[in-house]
Amino acid sequence: MKKVILSLMVLLGVFSFSQTKQTKIKELISLNGSFPVSKEVEKQLILGYKKKYSNVPESAWPPIEKKVNVDDLIDKVADIYGSRFNEKEIDQLLIFYKSDLGKKVIQNSPYLISEIQTASSDWGMNVTKMINNDLEKMGYLQSPPPTKSEGPPPPMK
């Protein structure tokens, strides 16, 4: 009997600990702005479908809307965070994102992401051009391309 009670206490302790961690992670997700945790996401998703399928009567949507629950996704995202960070790290992240610097990171993240995407795209296009130019100069970008045994034509002078 003692073993059963002890096992239950351990299980309850683990469950309580993970609930605390899960709650902290959800707060972190909400704070850091990396994931939209609003019910507005649900509304926008359904609205998009309503526009796309305008022939579907309004009466058809309520049962579907009941099945769309962003909380399910938030739980999955929290599990992902939980698999990468322990509770102490989550606590440290919460402290950071509540600090002035953390708030500045949150505020600037959308701009940083946008600018990084633009820079990455520009860089990728430039590298692609450079590689294509070099391969063309070497004679590898001719129509049809030379076979491996032929090799490139001699350099142009």
DSSP result, 101-133: HHHHHHHHHHHHHHHHHHHHHHHHHHHHHHHHH
Query: How far is 138 from 116, CA to CA, in rounded Å?
Result: 33
89 and 21 in contact (C-beta within 8 Å)? no
Supply the pLDDT for residue 33. 74
What is the residue-averaged pLDDT of the chain?
83
Which is it for the CA torsion 60, 71, 37, 73, positive or negative? negative
pTM value is 0.62
Pick from 90, 74, 91, 94: nearest CA to 82 = 90
Per-residue HEC secondary structure of 21-77 comes to HHHHHHHHHHHHCCCCCCHHHHHHHHHHHHHHCCCCCHHHHHHHHHHCCHHHHHHHH
Q: What is the pLDDT of residues 21-65, one digit of tens each?
A: 999 999 999 888 766 667 788 889 999 999 999 999 999 999 999
| Boundaries of every domain in the chain | 2-98, 108-157
Model confidence at 6: pLDDT above 50? no
Greater confidence, 67 or 157? 67
Model confidence at 16: pLDDT above 50? no
Supply the pLDDT for residue 82. 96
Rg of the chain over CA atoms, in angstroms? 27
